Amino acid sequence: MAVWKNTVPSKDELYESKRAALLREAAAAFNRRGFHATSLDEIAQNLGVTKAALYHYFPNKQTLLMACFEKAMDVAFDSLARARQQEATGRGRLRLTLALYLEQMLDELSACVVLMEENALTPPDHARMVQMRDRFEQALRDLVRDGIADGSIVACDPKLAMFTILGALNWIPKWFRHSGPWTATQTTAAVSDLFERMLSSAPAPALARDVGLMPLTTAK
Amino acid sequence: MAVWKNTVPSKDELYESKRAALLREAAAAFNRRGFHATSLDEIAQNLGVTKAALYHYFPNKQTLLMACFEKAMDVAFDSLARARQQEATGRGRLRLTLALYLEQMLDELSACVVLMEENALTPPDHARMVQMRDRFEQALRDLVRDGIADGSIVACDPKLAMFTILGALNWIPKWFRHSGPWTATQTTAAVSDLFERMLSSAPAPALARDVGLMPLTTAK
C-alpha cells in the first residue's frame, strides 16, 4: 500500500517495527532480571506505551517469550545460510555462522539468555523450540564434520565440540554489557578466535591479550 | 558424640547426610524443570519424606537454592586448593581446578544449572553469591595470567578466556545425562581437552573423535 508516496511507513511497516521494538525490550528485560521476575507492566513502561497497546501484539508473557525464541532461530538459520554461501571450508563456515549469529544477538536482540528460560514455555511451544534448536545444532555438527573431512578442523567429537561452543555462546549475554569495555564486534571477534583455536587444524600461535584493544568494527 | 561405639552414625552425621541428600535432589529437580516450576512437595515426594521433614532442614525454596550455590562454591574453592597443591604450571592448575569442579558437580550435585537461577535468590543472598562467584572467577583469571607468565598458556585475554570457559562449563548440566552415552569422567576429560587446546601454548594435534570411547575412569 503506497500512500504518501512511501515517504511515511505503511501500516504494515509500522506494525512490524513496533513489534520488533517490543521484542528487543522484552528480551533485554528477560535477560536482565529473568523471565519470572519481569512483568508486562515493566516492559510497557520501559517502552512508554500502555499495557493494552502491548496486548495488541502479544496476548501474554509466554507468547512474547516464544517470539523471542523464534527471532533467535531466524537469526541462527539466516547466519548459517549466509556462511554457506560465503565460505568454502567447514571451519570457515562454522566461524562465520557463529560470528553472524552472536553479533546480531548482541546488537539487535540480546536474546540468547532467553534460551535459558525454556521451562517457562507452554508444552507445545517448548516442543517446537526444541525441534528448531536441534535442527540448528545438527547443522553446526555437520559443519564440524565437513571441516574434519576437508582438513580445516582437527579430529574431534562434533557433538561435544558444539555442546561446548553453544554453551559458551549462550552464556555471553549473562556477562556482556553494551555499556561495558568491549563492543559487540570486539567480543564477537575475540570469542570467534577462541573457538577457532579450540578446533582449528592450525591453531593460532597467539590471541589478543586485551579484547578492548581489538578493532572496533569489522571489515565486512 | 561416640555412641554405640561409632557403629551407627551420630545424630550430627545423620543430619548432615540427610541434608546432603536433600540438596542433591533439589539441585537435580531445579536442573530438570527450573527453579520456578519445581515445588517443595515434589522434592519431598521424590525423597519419600514429608514436606514437614523437609522444613526441618530448609524453611523455604529460596534457602534451599542458596544452599545449592554454597555447595557449588565449596566444591569450586576446594578444587582450586587441590590444584594449587598438585600442579606447578598455570595451565596445569587451571585444567585440574576445572576438571575437579566439573566432575564433582556432575557426580554429586549437578548443581551447575542452578547457577542460572540466581534471579530467584533474595537480594542479600544474591549479593553474597555474586561475591563468592567473582572471587572464584578472579582466582581462575590469575591462573591464566600465571600460565601466560610461565609459558604454558598462549597470550590471551584472561577475562574473556574465563567468561568463555565458565559459560561452556555452566551449560554442561543442561545437556549431560547420567543415563546418556558418556560418563561424567569421559565428559570431564573431553571438555578439559577442548579447553586446554583453546589456551595451551602447545595445542594438541588431535582430540578424541568419540567421547564415548575415552577411558571410563581416571588414573587419579
pLDDT at B31: 75
CB atoms within 10 A of CB B82: 14
- Contact between A116 and B116 under an 8 Å Cβ cutoff? The reply is yes
Model confidence band, residue A114 (pLDDT cutoffs 50, 70, 90) = low
With beta carbons under 8 A apart, name residues in chain A contacting B121. Answer: none
DSSP three-state, residue B130: helix
When the pLDDT of each residue in chain B is averaged and rounded to a whole number, the result is 88
Return the pLDDT at A88: 96
Closest Cβ opposite residue A160 in set B190, B198, B204: B190
Q: pLDDT for B162-209, tens place per residue? A: 999 999 998 888 888 888 999 999 999 999 999 999 999 999 999 999
Please indicate whether, in this complex, the C-beta atoms of A206 and B155 are within 8 angstroms of each other.
yes
Please report the pLDDT score of residue A190 as a whole number.
Answer: 97
Instruction: Read off the C-alpha cell for A197.
Output: 583455536
Any residues with CB less than 8 A from the CB of B154 and at least 6 apart, and which? A197, A204, A205, A206, A207, B148, B199, B200, B201
Q: Looking at residue A219, what is its pLDDT?
A: 47
Whether chain A has a CB inside 8 Å of the CB on B122: the answer is: no
Q: What is the ipTM of this complex?
A: 0.87
Q: What is the pLDDT of residue B219?
A: 47
Identify the pLDDT of residue B3: 60
**A116: confidence class by pLDDT, cuts 50, 70, 90:** low
Average pLDDT over residues B73-102: 96
Looking at the complex, report in whole angstroms how far the Cα of residue B178 sits from the nearest Cα belonging to chain A. Answer: 15
**Are the beta carbons of A194 and B170 separated by less than 8 Å?**
no
B36 contacts A119? CB cut-off 8 A: yes
Mean pLDDT within B50-65? 88
Average pLDDT over residues A55-69: 88
Q: Cβ–Cβ of A168/B172 closer than 8 Å?
A: no
Closest-CA residue in chain B for A198? B198
What pLDDT, on a 0 to 100 scale, did the predictor assign at position B71? 87
Q: What DSSP string runs through B62-126?
A: HHHHHHHHHHHHHHHHHHHHHHHHH--SHHHHHHHHHHHHHHHIIIII--GGGGGGGGGS-HHHH
Tell me, what's the pLDDT at B186?
95
Measured in angstroms, the CA of A20 and the nearest CA of chain B are apart by 26
Q: Which pLDDT band holds residue A197 (cuts at 50, 70, 90)?
A: very high
Q: Is B174 on the interface with A (CB under 8 A)?
A: yes
- Going along chain B from its start, the domains and CATH numbers come out as 65-213 (1.10.357.10)
Nearest CA in chain A to B148: A209
Q: Taking 80 as the threshold, does the pLDDT of residue A152 lie above it?
A: yes
Q: CB contact, 8 Å: A156 with chain B?
A: yes
Q: How far is B122 from chain A (nearest CA, A)?
A: 12
**What is the model's pLDDT at position A100?**
95
